[in-house]
Amino acid sequence: MPAMSVEEVDAFLESVFPEMHQGGRIFSTDAITEEGARVSMVPQARHLRPGGTVSGPTLMTLVDIAAYVAVLGHRGPKALAVTTNLSINFLRRPPLGPLTCTARILKNGQKLVVLDAAVEGEGTPPVLVAHATATYAMPPDGKDA
Amino acid sequence: MPAMSVEEVDAFLESVFPEMHQGGRIFSTDAITEEGARVSMVPQARHLRPGGTVSGPTLMTLVDIAAYVAVLGHRGPKALAVTTNLSINFLRRPPLGPLTCTARILKNGQKLVVLDAAVEGEGTPPVLVAHATATYAMPPDGKDA
Amino acid sequence: MPAMSVEEVDAFLESVFPEMHQGGRIFSTDAITEEGARVSMVPQARHLRPGGTVSGPTLMTLVDIAAYVAVLGHRGPKALAVTTNLSINFLRRPPLGPLTCTARILKNGQKLVVLDAAVEGEGTPPVLVAHATATYAMPPDGKDA
Amino acid sequence: MPAMSVEEVDAFLESVFPEMHQGGRIFSTDAITEEGARVSMVPQARHLRPGGTVSGPTLMTLVDIAAYVAVLGHRGPKALAVTTNLSINFLRRPPLGPLTCTARILKNGQKLVVLDAAVEGEGTPPVLVAHATATYAMPPDGKDA
């Protein structure tokens, strides 16, 4: 069961990553779930590439935030949890409009948390835009509280 | 041997990714080499995380740009070359100051270009901050010129 | 919908990879599904590592076979489909007994097929042992039939 | 500087992985170097795929062994060091004959060791067949001796 609520995660991110919302509130925490978390974004002009598509680095940022939110939601406030690996497959050109990333914890280990993440755009059914896996190293117990 | 010079790559990027330099010229193309390319960046306040370290998404952006510059430099102007996979290991906390990414083409195939990339910070010897591999799918011949 | 049945896939593997079953029939094709395929194995003494656990290379072999079976099942007999990337996270020590790999096609593209795969051991619920992603490059149309 | 010699690594592997040499001595430890290790193999009929090429799982096994030898050589006898991630790009069809894998330690951390590895076949220059990265989790100090 989750260790933090959406409101607690948002307040924590606000305090440790104030620069995340620079230039406007792009990312929003939709839910902390039993499996992980869901974060969405509404791309702005500066995230676009030729042809109106969202850039790869923007998708990687969305994945990194969703995975971090899942780690926070399940492990509590750990600013020092660090990404050690992120691997992403870009599958389809994102449709215009909001994108949602669903991060799922595959292993919630003492030292390492491993997740996968699916980024989807709007459609019926939703369009699978990218799929990623990420690993976070957790700080030793007692550090960060 | 390279297909484009540093000046040609920069002019091309300027025309197809004007948003890349939004908020100031952060990234600069240092060299197109026989093996690939070298791109560096001077992190700004907005790229920093708690403790003054550069964020993961910023490092991934640097890798993606350096790999794309290597592809451009060796294959000519191909705006439609797309990243299909990027996998990165974050190794050490980046030191303050400029970061340089050296992208090296491992396979320059007709359909796929595979590269690895090392991100280093200043130090004696340089500090290996991250290591990545990336794959680009090339547009069919005749498209893009 | 699948392009080949379990029996057709098995007959095809038999004809192109007779060495797969050297030393006994270890791997069996359980199902070709709408999403991909399911392959299981019963580890033998030679797949074990200290402590009775299945070796990493054995798990990677299982993933590679399950992903290849999913590609065959959905694209028809393509001996020349080749793995271009395989990335695996080892999550938990496999329990004794049979292991099942469920491969799921994330993108069934003309040139590239991207899949993810979950390897599970017996348990209630099943034990998630490893998670992988794989990419296959498809031969040009007309080659292989 | 290395913690074990080639002879010590081989004797250790022999004692903990006797099954490694089942069916003949395929893999041989060429060197423990300042950067990592070098392991080579002479593929046998059972490692081949249609067209006489070495199978993907065989290449992954070679990478896993070379990386493990590098970890052993630099950290001493740690049977419980476990692979947590292995990601491999298959670049070119291997030429007939022996293959050599050069594993290089990128980060020799207390908890995690990160390496990259290049698999090359004979040629002038050598043929780069595959490139991989791997991560090993180290057992806590005091365990394993």
Residue percentage of chain D with pLDDT more than 90: 63
Q: Which two tokens stand for residue A38?
A: 């869901």
Which chain C residues have a beta carbon less than 8 Å from that of D114? none
Count the neighbouring beta carbons within 10 Å of the beta carbon of residue A126.
15
> Is there a contact between D81 and D138 (Cβ–Cβ < 8 Å)?
yes
Residue A28 pLDDT more than 80? yes
Express each pLDDT in B3-33 by its tens digit. Answer: 899 999 988 888 877 666 666 678 899 999 9
Express each pLDDT in A65-108 by its tens digit. Answer: 999 999 999 999 877 889 999 999 999 999 989 999 999 999 99
Residue A145 pLDDT more than 50? no
Higher pLDDT, A21 or C135: C135
Residues pairing with D86 in the sheet? C88, D134
Pairwise CA distance, residues C87 & D83, whole Å: 12
What does pTM read for this prediction?
A: 0.93
Express each pLDDT in D31-48 by its tens digit. Answer: 999 999 999 998 877 666
What was the pLDDT predicted at B17?
72
Are A114 and C133 a contacting pair at CB < 8 A?
no
Pairwise CA distance, residues B108 & B67, whole Å: 12
DSSP E strands: which ranges in C20-126? 27-32, 36-41, 48-49, 53-54, 82-90, 99-108, 112-121
Are C111 and B137 a contacting pair at CB < 8 A?
yes
Pairwise CA distance, residues A120 & A126, whole Å: 6
What was the pLDDT predicted at B142?
55
pLDDT band at A24 (very low <50, low <70, confident <90, very high): low
Higher pLDDT, B50 or D102: D102
Q: What is the CATH classification number for the domain harbouring C21?
A: 3.10.129.10
Pairwise CA distance, residues B52 & C124, whole Å: 45
Q: Does residue D100 lie in a domain region?
A: yes
Nearest by Cα to C90 from B58, D87, D13, A12: D87
- Mean of pLDDT values over B69-87: 92
Q: Which two tokens stand for residue C117?
A: 């795969």
Q: Does residue C24 lie in a domain region?
A: yes
Q: Does residue B142 lie in a domain region?
A: no
Number of domains in chain B: 1
What was the pLDDT predicted at D143?
59
Express each pLDDT in C41-82 by its tens digit. Answer: 988 766 666 666 788 989 999 999 999 999 999 999 877 889
Q: Does residue B144 lie in a domain region?
A: no
Pairwise CA distance, residues C81 & C76, whole Å: 10
> Is there a contact between B114 and B134 (Cβ–Cβ < 8 Å)?
yes
Q: Does residue B109 lie in a domain region?
A: yes
Q: Is C48 exposed, middle or buried (0-12, 13-18, 19+ CB in 10 A)?
A: middle
Are A50 and B19 a contacting pair at CB < 8 A?
no
pLDDT band at D19 (very low <50, low <70, confident <90, very high): low
Which chain D residues have a beta carbon less than 8 Å from that of C15? none
User: Which 8-state DSSP code applies to residue D20?
Assistant: G
B77 is in which domain, residue-wise? 6-137
Cα nearest neighbour of A92 on chain C: C107
- Find the DSSP H helices in chain D: 6-16, 56-75
Q: Does residue D103 lie in a domain region?
A: yes
Q: Does residue A145 lie in a domain region?
A: no
ipTM of the complex as predicted? 0.91
Are D112 and A137 a contacting pair at CB < 8 A?
yes
Are A131 and C135 a contacting pair at CB < 8 A?
no
Express each pLDDT in D50-70 by its tens digit. Answer: 666 788 989 999 999 999 999
Contacts for C120 with CB less than 8 Å, ≥ 6 apart: C99, C100, C101, C102, C126, C127, C128, C129
Amino acid at A134: A
Q: What chains are in contact with B, requiring at least 3 Cβ pairs below 8 Å?
A: A, C, D
Q: Which range, A117-131, C14-28, D18-32, has the best average confidence (pLDDT)?
A: A117-131
Q: Does residue B115 lie in a domain region?
A: yes
Nearest by Cα to B71 from B86, B58, B57, B59: B86
Pairwise CA distance, residues C17 & D47, whole Å: 10
Nearest by Cα to B113 from C136, D126, A94, D89: D89
